Amino acid sequence: MANDERGDAELLAAAARGDADAFGVLVRRHIRAATLLAAQLLGDRDDAEDVVQDAFTVVYDGANRFDAGRPFPPWLFGIVRRLAENRRARAARRAWLIRRWGKGTVAVPEPVQIESALLAGADMELVRSTMMSLSPMQRACFELVTVRDLSPADVAAMHGIAEATVRQHVFRARQTLRRVLNPEGDGND
């Protein structure tokens, strides 16, 4: 079904019974948010796609164990976070070994490019440095809500925090960016 109206738990239960189409609907419904989260955690789109693929494999394999009384997105995003942390830890160990044994250097991934109507015409180097001065959670929430156009509820589920906390992080990040980009402003945001 192209426009399947079943809930996530119902789709996962159907997938556990062997309904590949139901699992496909579930994947299409959540792949964008899962990939954005993984990319944010890893800083690399290719690694993020690998992690998301692995996450959906874990979901499929664990479909019978999913508690249908709980929402699906936090479960999926928890799996994505855990797999991303494992990948980062492996990369850090690999980088340490390379540094230790003198085989070269390891490239550090570039931070995600920030493009938004709020920043149109701004000095992008100033924007980047300001973004890097934000706390990691402020930066993550701001990017996902304002740049990637995810809802605060989705971002809250992705990071395991309250929706109000996401809104507060976005608000504070916007204030900081406005203050830096428009220092002569009246301060009445």
The residue among 116 and 108 whose pLDDT is bigger is 116
CATH class of 8-101: mainly alpha
pLDDT value of position 105: 43
Token representation of residue 156: 């809250």
pTM: 0.61
Do residues 74 and 157 touch, judged by C-beta distance below 8 A? Answer: yes
CA distances from residue 174 to 26, 117, 135, 167, 179 in whole angstroms, order as listed = 33, 12, 13, 11, 8
The residue among 150 and 34 whose pLDDT is bigger is 34
Do residues 54 and 91 touch, judged by C-beta distance below 8 A? Answer: no
Domain range list for the chain: 8-101, 117-181
Dump pLDDT digits (tens) for 51-98: 999 999 999 999 988 888 899 999 999 999 999 999 888 877 777 776
**How far apart, in whole angstroms, are the C-alpha atoms of residue 106 and residue 91?**
9
pLDDT value of position 31: 95
**Band (180; pLDDT cuts 50, 70, 90):** confident
How distant is the alpha carbon of residue 48 from its chain centre? Answer: 9
**How far apart, in whole angstroms, are the C-alpha atoms of residue 33 and residue 164?**
19
pLDDT value of position 158: 86
The CATH number of the domain covering residues in 117-181: 1.10.10.10
Of the chain, the percentage scoring pLDDT greater than 70 comes to: 81
SS3 labels along the chain: CCCCCCCHHHHHHHHHCCCHHHHHHHHHHHHHHHHHHHHHHHCCHHHHHHHHHHHHHHHHHCHHHCCCCCCHHHHHHHHHHHHHHHHHHHHHHHHHHHHHHCCCCCCCCCCCCCCCHHHCCCCHHHHHHHHHHCCHHHHHHHHHHHHCCCCHHHHHHHHCCCHHHHHHHHHHHHHHHHHHHCCCCCCCC
